[in-house]
Chain A
Amino acid sequence: MSTKNIEEKQYLLRFKCDTKSHLTVLDHDVCMTQCPEKFCTVFCPAEVYKWEGKRMQVGYEGCHECGSCRIGCPYQNIKWEYPKGGHGIVFRLA
């Protein structure tokens, strides 16, 4: 079977997007100066985080709400909440 890259995988999903992000990078300077690995951009299963040279772009709309970035950011630099009730990802199958 054909594998799908992450954009194509994300297309398989249904999201009911909130207008407000439930994820906030608290201090972009911490990412810039203390976190050369930019861990969240690697392990996030939905490629929500993209480093843009000076700041972290947060594509919260595609978040699976797994919680990995809250636990995995070594600097506790991510404020993590649930999207508003009924919003965010809607799994239809498993």
Chain B
Amino acid sequence: MSEKFDVIVVGAGPAGTSCAFVCAKNGLNVLLIERGEYPGSKNVMGGVLYRKQMEELIPEFWKEAPLERPVIEQRFWMMDKESVVQFGYKGLEWGQEPYNNFTVLRAQFDQWFARKAVETGALLINETVVTECIVENGKVIGVRTDRPDGEVYADVVVLADGVNSLLGKQLGFHKEFRPDEVALTVMEVVNLPKEKINDRFNLEENQGCTVEIFGDSTKGNLGTAFLYTNKDSLNIGVGTTLSSMIKAKLKPYDLLDYLKTHPMVKPYLEGGESAEYLAHLIPEGGYRSVPKVAGNGVVVVGDAAQLVNAIHREGSNMAMSSGKMAAEAIIEAKKDDNYSEASLNRYKDALYGSFIMKDLEKYKDAAHIFEKHPQYLRDYVPMMNRAASKFFTVDGTSKREKQKEVLKSVTDERGTFKVLKDIYRAWKAVK
């Protein structure tokens, strides 16, 4: 057989499909290989899709893509056992064009997006696992699949195979990820009538809300939880680094049920019906865990390259941008018919010059620090709650007196010096 393409893309998630889309649009011969029954059937996301990076690929995509709700409000909760300190932002400008971001259900979104790549000229093959890259003279020249007679060749192979990235590991681009470099996250889609959602979240038609929940949502372990509104359902999920899960001997589904029945969360879900339960890893190693991203005849994009900003729950947008940058490098490489590592390093250079690596660099110490110093989520969130309770309880004490008390109670609990050190360390990690 030995069919040959310009580009083979492994994995039809946002990274791979973006790359295939841009390559096909520029006239390249593209094969997009997906192991699932359909694109999205293996993929999980809390649900926030960012407008900016998607729009760079398909202008005004919101007019046709299967989206749930434009997000007009983002809330952040610092949650204790029976209380929560909240802040957030709600703006109607996010509810109209060009929008800020949207909630989506990935099984539907990924299928639609892959269809767009196919309409542009890419060839999509589902139900096919790429088992290895074919390497000849130190150069990747194609892939082997689990289909009979399943070898296919190309000038460039794009590894968009997601967080497990077995193919990158095979090529020696990275070692097995450590349990502190990945977060194990579980979620449920809970069906709830639209009117109930609108009432509970104070929304109108076609308005969405996201809630990020810190603190007791993970029982103080390093991680977060989320509650997002779809049209007629809610996505609720929680995750911690796999290392924290192991250390705390947590069962992820028990943690999810703890969250669902938490007194601060439960009223939002009342009367809902679970429709699906999903587990997935998130690459959270950050800057230092990013593997080699270009080699002879091969590039790595999206989760496979650990491109996730865990602090801001951005992953799908980085996947799309990296896919697009890889495509642009391949298009350039084709002009001088040179697919060496040096030539494909155009992608690496673009990536390292982009918001992706700049943001990952900015937070390169954050996860590590929060893992090593669990007091931030474990101690400070409850302290914030007690402080707020004290401050807002009207009991005849003057406000000035209260401020003093609050400050004192914090420094008493941990010691002034420790508190200052904690604040300095956290500030340095995210500055």
| Chain A residues within 8 Å of B, Cβ to Cβ | 1, 3-6, 8-10, 12-13, 16, 37, 39, 42-43, 45-47, 64-68, 70-72, 76, 82-86, 88-94
Contacts and interface: CB of A to CB of B under 8 A. Distances in A.
Contacts of B246: 39, 42-43, 72
Interface stretch (B91-99, B174-182, B354-362, B422-430): B174-182
B276 A1 contact: no
B281 interface: yes
A66 B107 contact: no
B252 A43 contact: yes
Nearest to B145: A85
B176 A64 contact: no
B281 A1 contact: no
Contact of A93 (B189, B251, B273, B279): B189
B53 to A, nearest CB: 20
Contacts of A46: 279
Contact of B251 (A42, A85, A91): A42
Nearest to A45: B279
Contacts of A66: 184, 279-281
A91 B186 contact: no
A89 to B, nearest CB: 7
Given A9-B253, A43-B246, A43-B250, 10 more contacts: A6-B253, A10-B277, A42-B246, A43-B184, A45-B184, A45-B253, A68-B242, A71-B176, A84-B129, A85-B126
28 contacts: A1-B270, A1-B271, A1-B272, A9-B188, A12-B274, A13-B277, A16-B37, A42-B250, A43-B250, A47-B253, A64-B279, A67-B164, A70-B176, A71-B178, A72-B242, A82-B166, A85-B128, A86-B126, A86-B127, A86-B128, A89-B41, A91-B42, A91-B44, A93-B189, A94-B47, A94-B106, A94-B187, A94-B189
Contacts of A82: 35, 129, 166
Contacts of A93: 105-108, 189, 233, 275-276, 278
Contacts of A10: 277
Given A1-B272, A42-B250, A94 B107 contact: yes
Contacts of A6: 251, 253
Contacts of B145: 85
Across the A-B interface, the 9 shortest Cβ-Cβ residue pairs: A86-B127, A45-B279, A9-B277, A64-B279, A85-B127, A67-B164, A85-B128, A3-B257, A1-B272
A71 B105 contact: no
B269 interface: yes
B163 A1 contact: no
Given A1-B269, A71-B182, A91-B44, A64 B280 contact: yes
Contacts of B178: 71
Contact of A91 (B35, B127, B235, B276): B276
Contacts of B271: 1
A40 to B, nearest CB: 10
B348 interface: no
B133 to A, nearest CB: 15
A92 B145 CA distance: 25
B24 interface: no
Nearest to B181: A71
A88 B36 CA distance: 8
Contacts of B147: 85
Contacts of B280: 64, 66
Contact of A43 (B37, B188, B245): B245
Interface of B: 35-37, 40-47, 105-108, 126-129, 145-147, 163-164, 166, 176-179, 182, 184, 186-190, 233, 235, 242, 245-246, 249-253, 257, 260-261, 266, 269-281
Residue picked from A72, A91, A94, most chain B C-beta under 10 Å: A94
Given A42-B250, A64-B280, A9 B274 contact: yes
Nearest to B147: A85
A89 B184 contact: no
A90 B43 CA distance: 9
B179 A4 contact: no
Nearest to A43: B245
Nearest to B128: A85
A89 B385 CA distance: 41
A3 B261 CA distance: 8
Nearest to B35: A85
A88 B37 CA distance: 9
Contacts of B187: 94
A68 B276 contact: no
A71 B276 contact: no
Given A1-B270, A85-B147, A94 B42 contact: no
